């Protein structure tokens, strides 16, 4: 199952002859961004679980490849730790008889199998890493265009009451929609370098739709994270590989994570100083959407109190924050500790840092630049929002788990000794 198969040149020819693992990734993108049917989501979800199990069980070569690179071995070890730790937490919290908790906790296995499916697609389909970017941009743009037509024009009266765009797939609220549109916008920008002719025109149109959709979500955290993480990725692409670039990456990422945190802490002052000036500024949907109160500080305070009470195993995946405007911690760092404990948070961050290191040091490809961009985006976005990322098919799979697999995956034709290019 490790042999790479040649593909036709055109994107649509590729889609007609697509590898099953790659087809499941496309279905996931469509399910999150565009398709509003639960049976479709469930089919994609079950599909990659089956594909992941088959890849691991039936292909000794794939298993050998999976463990051949140290970064992939670390990924496997960290996922194994998370699964065991969450299972231990169920027992420690006295929830061993609760089937819903076991089901929610088992999602760590499905996330792992999703990454295995992506790694399988990269190994089996030599063109997957190249055509994934324009395909992702176009697939999400279909959902964005549909949502804009329906919400701004067809449902214009409702838009004036709630002027924030959302998608009709699993990214069914404005913040999740913003993260998916950020992912697709980054994919489209990077795809412009490798596409030509009609496909490039399609990517340009999809990029315009995705950027417009991203703005119309009025998702402040995702929009800031998209811009800043993109700038960091560009700077790192210009720097020569070595310790200086690694140190620069660490410093820039830490400062980037501090930015949304600082904005939340300064929210009362910012609202007083600036937001009154932009109210009713005449932007589509109303100018004050960027200035709404987030109530993050109140919610974070409640989450921290819960973490202090349950530092090792957390409050469990079914726990809720007791706040009228937020049932989850609205912070990715607090969320993992809130649900599963501080050791789980450490392992989760280890997964992301391991993938960023791989994206920085492995051969350069647009797909790996997308991975680096989105992983930095995730670290920034987590400072201002994010519920439980270990869940049923959702936006997390596009801007976090898919980029993680792209950072770690083998890309045929680009990593065979002398054929390898410089790192990202």
The reported pLDDT for the residue numbered 391 is 82
Condensed to tens digits (0 to 9), the pLDDT of residues 203-246 reads 999 999 999 999 999 888 899 999 999 999 999 998 888 889 89
Task: Find out whether 275 and 398 touch, Cβ atoms under 8 Å.
Answer: no
In 178-251, beta strands by DSSP E: none
Which residue, 356, 393, 405, 359, is CA-closest to 132? 405
Extract the tokens encoding 46.
Answer: 């079950």
Task: Find out whether 310 and 344 touch, Cβ atoms under 8 Å.
Answer: no
* 218: region left, alpha or beta (phi > 0 left; psi from -120 to 50 alpha): left
Angle of helix 174-191 versus helix 20-33 axis, rounded to 10: 130
The reported pLDDT for the residue numbered 276 is 54
Q: Which residues, 6 or more positions from 234, have their beta carbon under 8 angstroms from its beta carbon?
A: none
The C-alpha atoms of residue 372 and residue 361 are separated, in whole angstroms, by 11
Which residue, 189, 264, 250, 181, is CA-closest to 221? 264
What is the pTM (predicted TM-score) of this model? 0.88
Half-sphere exposure of 292 (CA within 13 A, CB side): 15
Angle of helix 128-148 versus helix 197-216 axis, rounded to 10: 50
361: exposed, middle or buried (Cβ count in 10 Å: 0-12, 13-18, 19+):
middle
The reported pLDDT for the residue numbered 97 is 80
Task: Find out whether 7 and 17 touch, Cβ atoms under 8 Å.
Answer: yes
| Residue 155 DSSP SS3 | coil
Extract the tokens encoding 412.
Answer: 């045929």
The C-alpha atoms of residue 369 and residue 132 are separated, in whole angstroms, by 13
Among 42-46, 316-320, 384-388, name the one with the lowest average pLDDT: 384-388
Condensed to tens digits (0 to 9), the pLDDT of residues 27-60 reads 999 999 999 998 999 999 999 999 999 999 998 9
What's the rounded mean pLDDT across residues 90-113? 88
Task: Answer yes or no: is pLDDT of 184 > 90.
Answer: yes
The reported pLDDT for the residue numbered 2 is 46
Task: Find out whether 21 and 132 touch, Cβ atoms under 8 Å.
Answer: no
Condensed to tens digits (0 to 9), the pLDDT of residues 247-302 reads 999 999 999 999 888 877 777 666 666 565 544 444 444 445 556 666 788 888 89
Task: Find out whether 27 and 139 touch, Cβ atoms under 8 Å.
Answer: no
Mean pLDDT of the chain: 86
What H or E segment, with its residue span, contains residue 10? none
């Amino acid at each position: 199952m490790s042999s790479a198969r040649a593909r036709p040149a055109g994107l649509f020819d590729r889609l007609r002859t697509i590898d099953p693992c790659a087809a499941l990734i496309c279905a996931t993108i469509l399910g999150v961004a565009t398709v509003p049917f639960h049976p479709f989501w469930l089919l994609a979800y079950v599909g990659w679980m089956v594909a992941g199990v088959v890849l691991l069980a039936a292909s000794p070569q794939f298993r050998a490849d999976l463990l051949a690179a140290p970064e992939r071995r670390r990924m496997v070890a960290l996922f194994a730790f998370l699964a065991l730790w969450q299972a231990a937490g169920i027992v420690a919290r006295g929830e061993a008889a609760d089937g819903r908790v076991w089901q929610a906790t088992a999602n760590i296995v499905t996330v792992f199998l999703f990454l295995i499916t992506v790694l399988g697609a990269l190994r089996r389909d030599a063109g997957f890493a190249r055509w994934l970017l324009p395909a992702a941009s176009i697939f999400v743009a279909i959902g964005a265009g549909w949502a804009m037509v329906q919400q701004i024009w067809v449902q214009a009266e409702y838009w004036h009451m709630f002027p924030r765009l959302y998608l009709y797939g699993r990214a069914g609220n404005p913040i999740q929609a913003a993260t998916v549109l950020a992912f697709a916008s980054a994919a489209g920008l990077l795809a412009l370098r490798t596409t030509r002719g009609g496909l490039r025109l399609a990517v340009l149109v999809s990029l315009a739709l995705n950027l417009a959709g991203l703005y119309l979500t009025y998702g402040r955290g995702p929009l800031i994270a998209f811009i800043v993480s993109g700038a960091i990725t560009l700077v790192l692409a210009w720097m020569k590989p070595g310790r200086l670039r690694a140190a620069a990456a660490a410093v820039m990422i830490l400062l980037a994570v501090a930015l949304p945190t600082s904005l939340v802490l300064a929210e009362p002052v910012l609202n007083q100083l600036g937001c009154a000036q932009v109210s009713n500024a005449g932007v589509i949907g109303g100018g004050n959407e960027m200035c709404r109160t987030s109530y993050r500080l109140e919610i974070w305070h409640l989450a921290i109190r819960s973490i202090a009470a349950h530092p090792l195993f957390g409050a469990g995946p079914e726990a809720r924050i007791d706040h009228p405007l937020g049932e989850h911690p609205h912070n990715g760092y607090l969320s993992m500790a809130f649900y599963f404990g501080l050791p789980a948070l450490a392992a989760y961050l280890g997964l992301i840092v391991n993938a960023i290191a791989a994206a920085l040091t492995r051969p350069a490809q647009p797909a790996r630049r997308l991975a680096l961009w989105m992983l930095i985006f995730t670290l920034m976005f987590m400072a201002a929002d994010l519920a439980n990322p270990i869940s049923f098919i959702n936006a997390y799979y596009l801007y976090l788990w898919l980029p993680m697999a792209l950072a770690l995956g083998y890309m045929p034709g680009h990593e065979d000794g002398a054929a390898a290019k410089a790192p990202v």
